Chains A and B, each alone.
Chain A
């Protein structure tokens, strides 16, 4: 198993800089400070060639930011993201363009990621022509082929995005990503906006394409059911940090981190009969002011003194399984 994507010590901070009024206020002695959001904090993750890694977490946990950095849309504040051994932030010229083509992204909302004024033929066919994958004359034939790969009628290439349903639009987004012959797809909540029956169709498509094109996925989702189904391995994020990582089956059978346990316990499953929801206390803290120590400690039923001061390291608890929890050492 070779690592295709290696994320090493990656952090991303967003700094809200002071505006003029705030700078003046500070000069006059008011206590105004720059606000920093630690969206992603020292994340290490490797993704093997051909695998599907599911990245799970609730809103604001940094999973999309991490995905965007992997796709090259954001640059890390610290650390390196290496695709096939090369740090993508340090590549220049031809090498940078080629590496960027190999990693493509699929977004949650296909309506805001497809240009409403372009025909499908242009949306899907523009990049391959620009990057000389096909000639302009071959474009329509190539687009038609891509459309049939994603289960759309090749005749539709003269249509505009608004003439499609939500599920079909998502397929266009997938066809656009595939058209530049990528090896790695970052799917950011790619099925979240779809109805259940359509979601199943698109998930099936993802699984089929993985076989056909030998793809590797970073599959980002808040939906545990979806991630369980499609992923080989899972990483769980909470407030910018990875708290647990391991093979899907092992995590779903016995989650180690209290946060993962809570997520699994609270996910609604279809079952006959009412069920009593029990809740983890509290809210997700603001990433502007994360709690010290373990980020989960204010909500954790097992928290003790050490959790409030010391950040737990992500340690191996079994072969291939990592968890960041002090409880693993206490016992």
Chain B
């Protein structure tokens, strides 16, 4: 077997605030093969975005990576200095953000920004750089790329801006793209367009993707594997179909079951009681304990990630109860 493209080992990113230490990411491990799409799912504050930022070394103080390794193609990104990281960012690993206005400079024309991004990593002529820009813009389905290159970001609609952001990510044919909620701000029909492009591109270029989202529905349609995060930890990871069809962790089960379309119309939705704990003040043991119908005294210890079924891991002492599915939500 070939070695994985990305291997994250026991990553801990903590934020040292005046109110205490926020363990935004607390012992996250996963690996990603070349060309694979990993869906990283969780609710707000679960640490999914911070995981993405940590891989690229984009965590700002008061946050920092406390322990853990991020092996990308055999090199530990967490130990590289800024100079070396910069050579990788944008070239071998690219990132797409939720709000494309975060990526695009509002006062520069698209061609200026894109050519700059090309020249940052390769010494080609301006002409060749422009040619490359045209190429990627048409790859992401932007009609009349020549005209569009001479426009400013505010000339574009939200969906078009996100396409430009994706095009910029593709400029250097990266091995890995980290996409943080890239379609959350878009309308349903535009989201479908972007997802279709991404599927096509991933298949064509063999780029691996980490798709960070709160939307299980999008992720289940797109990803090869899914990792579910809760309070800074991955509570379950497996092949996408296994997570959706037979989730082991009660939180995953609860997330799937509380989606309206999985319930009979008009009947009360099956809901997870309570709310996510503050990461400043996590309960002892399993963080999901207080909302979990399976919880008992065993859960006062923190569960470790165990492979309960072939290539399906979960952090739960009671995973064997997953088959008797009625237990979770009343």
- Contact present for A197 and B244 (CB under 8 Å): no
Decide if A266 is an interface residue (CB 8 Å cutoff): yes
| B240 CB within 8 Å of chain A | yes
State the interface size on chain A (CB cutoff 8 A): 45
- A228 at interface (Cβ–Cβ under 8 A)? yes
Q: Digit string of A267-289 for contact with B (CB within 8 Å is 1, else 0)? A: 11111111111111001100000
**Also in contact, A279 and B193, with CB within 8 A (given A271-B221, A271-B244):** yes
B190 close to A (CB within 8 Å): yes
Residue contact A228 to B192, C-beta cutoff 8 Å: no
Interface residues of B in 238-277 (CB under 8 A from A): 240-242, 244-245, 254-256, 258-263, 265-266, 268-273, 275-276
What is the bound-complex CA distance between A274 and B220, given in angstroms?
A: 7
Q: How far is it, in angstroms, between the C-alpha of A274 and the C-alpha of B36 when the chains are bound?
A: 13
Taking a contact as CB atoms under 8 Å apart, the answer to whether A263 and B189 are in contact is yes
Do the beta carbons of B189 and A270 come within 8 Å of each other? no
CB distance from A249 to the nearest CB of B (A): 7
Check A49 for interface membership: any CB of B closer than 8 A: no
B132-174 interface code vs A (CB 8 A; 1 in, 0 out): 0000000000000000000000000101100000000000000
Is A165 close to B, CB under 8 A?
A: yes
Identify which of B157, B159, B189, B276 contacts A195 (C-beta below 8 A). B276
Chain A nearest Cβ from B47, distance in angstroms: 14
Question: Taking the nearest CB of chain A, how far is it from the CB of B260, in angstroms?
Answer: 4
In the complex, whether A136 has a CB less than 8 A from a CB of chain B is no
Q: A196-B258, A276-B199 are in contact. Are A270 and B244 (CB under 8 A)?
A: yes
Which of A200, A279, A280 lies in contact with B272, CB distance below 8 A? A200
Interchain CB contact under 8 A, A204 and B271: yes
Q: Given the known A-B contacts A196-B43, A197-B254, are A270 and B187 also in contact in the complex, defined by CB atoms under 8 Å?
A: no
Interface assignment of B214: CB less than 8 Å from any CB of chain A: yes
Q: Could you tell me the distance in whole angstroms from the C-beta of A211 to the nearest C-beta in chain B? A: 11
- Contact B195 A277, beta carbon cutoff 8 Å: yes
Number of B residues with CB within 8 Å of any CB on chain A = 49
Task: Return chain B residues, CB-CB under 8 Å to A198.
Answer: 43, 275
Residue of A nearest to B183 (CB): A268
> Do A262 and B189 form a contact, CB below 8 Å, given A270-B216, A276-B196?
yes
Residue among B160, B245, B269, B273 with most chain A CB within 10 A: B269
Residues of A within 8 A of B159 (CB): 283
Residue A167 lies at the interface, judged by CB distance under 8 Å to chain B: yes
A197 touches B199 (CB 8 A): no
Q: A196-B214, A262-B189, A277-B199 are in contact. Are A270 and B269 (CB under 8 A)?
A: no
The answer to whether B192 touches A197 (Cβ under 8 A) is no
Whether B258 contacts A277 by the Cβ 8 Å rule is: no
Please, how many angstroms separate the alpha-carbon atoms of A229 and B195 in the complex?
Answer: 25
B196 touches A272 (CB 8 A): no
Q: Verify if A207 is at the interface (C-beta below 8 Å from B).
A: yes
Bound CA–CA A276/B198 (angstroms): 11
Residues of B within 8 A of A229 (CB): 260-261, 263, 265-266, 269
Interface residue? B205 (CB, 8 A): no
CB-contact partner of B260 in A226, A249, A277, A279, under 8 A: A226
Given the complex of chains A and B, what is the CA–CA distance between A278 and B200 in angstroms? 11
Q: Per-residue CB proximity of B68-98 to A under 8 Å, as 1/0? A: 0000000000000000000000000000000
Nearest B residue to A57, CB-CB: B187
Q: Please tell me if the beta carbons of A272 and B216 are within 8 angstroms of each other in the complex.
A: no
A171 to B299, CA, bound (A): 31
The minimal Cβ–Cβ distance linking A231 to chain B, given in whole angstroms, is 9
A contact residues around B44 at 8 Å (CB):
166, 195
**Given A58-B188, A204-B271, A270-B258 contact (CB < 8 Å):** no
What separation, in Å, do the CA atoms of A229 and B258 have in the docked complex? 11
> Across the interface, do A195 and B214 meet the contact criterion of CB distance under 8 Å?
yes
A272 touches B261 (CB 8 A): no
Question: Residues of A contacting B240 with CB < 8 Å?
Answer: 272-274
Complex: A224 Cα to B217 Cα, angstroms? 13
CB–CB A228/B271 < 8 A = no
Q: Taking CB as reference atom, which chain B residue is nearest A267?
A: B188
B158: nearest residue on chain A (CB-CB)?
A: A59
A263–B196 CB distance below 8 A: no
Residues 259 to 304 of chain B near chain A (Cβ within 8 Å): 259-263, 265-266, 268-273, 275-276
Residues from chain B with Cβ under 8 Å of A204 in the complex: 268-269, 271
- On chain B, the residues within 8 Å of A58 by CB distance are 187-190
A274-B211 Cα distance, complex, nearest whole Å: 14
- How far is B5's CA from A274's CA once the two chains are assembled, in angstroms? 22
Question: Given A198-B275, A229-B261, A283-B160 in contact, is the A270-B191 Cβ separation under 8 Å?
Answer: no
- Interface residue A309 (Cβ < 8 Å from any Cβ of B): no
Known: A197-B255, A198-B275, A229-B266. A272 touches B187 (CB 8 A): no
Within the complex, the shortest CB–CB distance from A309 to chain B, in Å, comes to 24
Asked whether B217 lies within 8 Å of A269 as measured between CB atoms, the reply is yes
**14 interchain pairs (CB within 8 A)?**
A58-B188, A200-B271, A200-B272, A225-B259, A230-B266, A271-B220, A271-B244, A272-B244, A275-B221, A277-B199, A279-B189, A283-B160, A284-B157, A284-B189
Binding site for A on B (CB under 8 A): 43-44, 157, 159-160, 187-193, 195-196, 199, 214-218, 220-224, 240-242, 244-245, 254-256, 258-263, 265-266, 268-273, 275-276
The 4 A-B pairs at the shortest CB distance, nearest first, are namely A268-B217, A229-B260, A200-B258, A272-B241
